[in-house]
């Protein structure tokens, strides 16, 4: 499990060390790790360090000091180092002295470097890059190593509201912060440099592949189709039969012991998935252990009746898509419901439910909706945020946006609903399912890349994603088996 800590918690953890250690010790620890990673990056990209050109973009905060100290270390290893001081009067004096003593130079011209160290804004900084800094960053085409976080990106929310750095590598000090998962596309590869912090409980957690593999239900010697989990799927309509096919197929593929389909697209579902047991409505479906309701059901009277029937049960329920639109108009349908409930909105559906947009602070917004409605909420996105009203927050960074395609949410609902039928709590099922879903999307994009001829990845559809789900589960289970 990978933990992420708010900047306030990291600063609180740093305070006793700053008070007990000689001045500058923590900064030099951080700078040593930064210099080592920057040197490795130079070697991998250019074949060496000696004679390579490194430009430091130095602001007035501690990140600027880290960059200066690291620049001094790189200069002593033979790199040519230039520091661009964006606020010369407030540059870190000891770090600047170390750089100059090592033979580094100060210049307003960033030159044509092989590598750039971004020390413009510290973790206390807020907002986008100022015009002078933005102009310099825009001129550079060298890879950037960000010092703790890419400048211009909010450290706690990952939000960007103007010019900001996009790094090839981000070197985090002491602890991973929310920015490193919520704005992963801006951070590039993230490297953590330990500096000896004693940290509290994390603000966010991400399950790693081994965690997901261990949590994925597998049949035991005494299991049968009922004990492995029976999930009911209420999805699709005459207008949107594909949603039923995708949701039901995902539930089948996610190793549900049985999938009972209860909706208006039974012919299409059975043509694709003959192992599904079909009924015309949830009232006639038979025994299930969780429900998925909403994908493609529409918002007419039949759809409302299906939603009401499912929510009236005492079983775990996942509500998605049209089910969410119906709930947005009738939130009272959840009033008094005590069984576990998971809502899985994208940003537009979230705004209809909550009456406010999830951005810029997607974590706080998801927490707020979960607490107000007394449900678990999965907010979709490249960084999927999952909040439980009684527990912490999970996040899944997909590693790409290949799942941003029509129907992929229907697949996700089937996966997570099947996991809930096995007894996993909604937040855990959501985190586990989201990880498998994103891996399946990435596998689909990689397979397609074989046909594009340039080494790039190819776009996928929801059907392609679903076709790679079984491989994704096998890979995740493999991590668990090797641990």
Show binding-site residues for AMP: 380-384, 409
Which residues does residue 259 pair with via DSSP β-bridges, in sequence order? Answer: 231
And the tokens for 338? 């005590």
The position carrying tokens 């059907």 is: 463
Closest C-alpha to 419, from 243, 279, 292, 310: 292
Is the distance from CB of 333 to CB of 375 less than 8 angstroms? no
Cα gap 388→392, rounded to integer Å = 6
Closest C-alpha to 117, from 173, 35, 192: 35
Nearby residues of 245 by Cβ (< 8 Å), 6 or more positions away: 236, 265, 268, 269, 272, 273
Helix, strand, coil shares, percent, the chain, to 5: 45, 15, 40
Nearby residues of 337 by Cβ (< 8 Å), 6 or more positions away: 311
| Eight-state DSSP code of residue 277 | E
Cα gap 148→160, rounded to integer Å = 16
Q: List the binding residues for (6S)-NADPHX.
A: 62-66, 122-128, 148, 243, 296, 346, 410
Q: How do 383-387 and 393-397 pair as beta strands? A: antiparallel
Cα gap 149→121, rounded to integer Å = 8
Cα gap 452→430, rounded to integer Å = 33
Element (H, E) at 377: strand 376-379
Q: C-alpha dihedral over 418, 421, 423, 424, to 10 degrees?
A: 30
Cα gap 245→235, rounded to integer Å = 8
Number of alpha carbons in the 13 Å side-chain half-sphere of residue 433: 37
And the tokens for 294? 């909403």
Distance of CA 369 to the CA centre of its chain: 19
Q: List the binding residues for K(+).
A: 63, 118, 151
The position carrying tokens 């996928």 is: 460
Cα gap 260→162, rounded to integer Å = 49
Q: List the binding residues.
A: 62-66, 118, 122-128, 148, 151, 243, 296, 346, 380-384, 409-410
Element (H, E) at 261: strand 258-262
Is the distance from CB of 305 to CB of 331 less than 8 angstroms? no
Cα gap 327→352, rounded to integer Å = 9
């Amino acid at each position: 499990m990978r933990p992420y800590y708010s900047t306030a918690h990291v600063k609180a953890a740093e305070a006793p060390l700053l008070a007990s250690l000689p001045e500058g010790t923590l900064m030099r620890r951080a700078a040593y790790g930064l210099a080592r990673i920057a040197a490795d990056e130079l070697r991998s990209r250019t074949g060496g360090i000696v004679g390579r050109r490194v430009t430091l973009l130095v602001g007035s905060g501690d990140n600027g000091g880290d960059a200066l100290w690291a620049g001094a270390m790189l200069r002593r290893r033979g790199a040519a180092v230039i520091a661009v001081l964006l606020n010369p009067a407030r540059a870190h004096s000891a770090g600047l002295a170390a750089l100059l003593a090592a033979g580094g130079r100060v210049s307003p011209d960033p030159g044509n470097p092989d590598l750039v160290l971004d020390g413009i804004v510290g973790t206390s900084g807020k907002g986008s890059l100022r015009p002078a800094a933005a102009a310099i960053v825009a001129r550079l085409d060298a890879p950037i190593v960000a010092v703790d976080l890419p400048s211009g990106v909010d450290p706690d929310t990952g939000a960007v509201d103007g010019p900001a750095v996009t790094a090839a590598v981000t070197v985090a000090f002491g602890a991973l912060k929310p920015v490193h998962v919520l704005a992963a596309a801006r951070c590039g590869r993230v490297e953590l440099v330990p500096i000896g912090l004693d940290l509290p409980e994390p603000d966010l957690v991400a399950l790693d592949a081994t965690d997901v593999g261990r949590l994925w239900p597998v049949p035991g010697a005494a299991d049968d189709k009922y004990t492995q989990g029976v999930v009911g799927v209420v999805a699709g309509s005459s207008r949107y039969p594909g949603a039923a096919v995708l949701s039901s197929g995902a539930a089948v593929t996610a190793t549900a012991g049985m999938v009972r389909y209860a909706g208006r697209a039974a012919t299409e579902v059975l043509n694709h998935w003959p192992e599904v047991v079909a009924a015309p409505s949830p009232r006639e479906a038979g025994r299930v252990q969780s429900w998925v309701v909403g994908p493609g059901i529409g918002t007419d009277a039949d759809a409302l009746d299906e939603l009401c029937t499912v929510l009236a049960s005492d079983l775990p329920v996942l509500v998605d898509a049209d089910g969410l639109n119906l709930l947005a108009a009738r939130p009272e349908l959840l009033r008094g419901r005590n069984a576990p409930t998971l809502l899985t909105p994208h940003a537009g559906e979230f705004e209809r439910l909550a009456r406010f947009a999830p951005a810029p602070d997607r974590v706080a917004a998801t927490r707020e909706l979960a607490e107000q409605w007394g449900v678990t909420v999965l907010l979709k996105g490249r960084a999927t945020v999952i909040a439980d009203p009684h527990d912490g927050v999970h996040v899944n960074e997909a590693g790409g946006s290949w799942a941003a395609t029509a129907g992929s949410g229907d697949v996700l609902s089937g996966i997570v609903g099947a996991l809930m039928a096995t007894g996993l709590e909604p937040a855990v099922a959501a985190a586990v399912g989201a990880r498998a879903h994103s891996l399946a999307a990435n596998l689909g994009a990689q397979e397609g890349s074989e046909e594009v001829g340039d080494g790039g990845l190819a776009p996928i559809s929801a059907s392609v994603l679903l076709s790679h789900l079984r491989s994704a589960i096998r890979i995740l289970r493999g991590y668990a088996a090797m641990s």
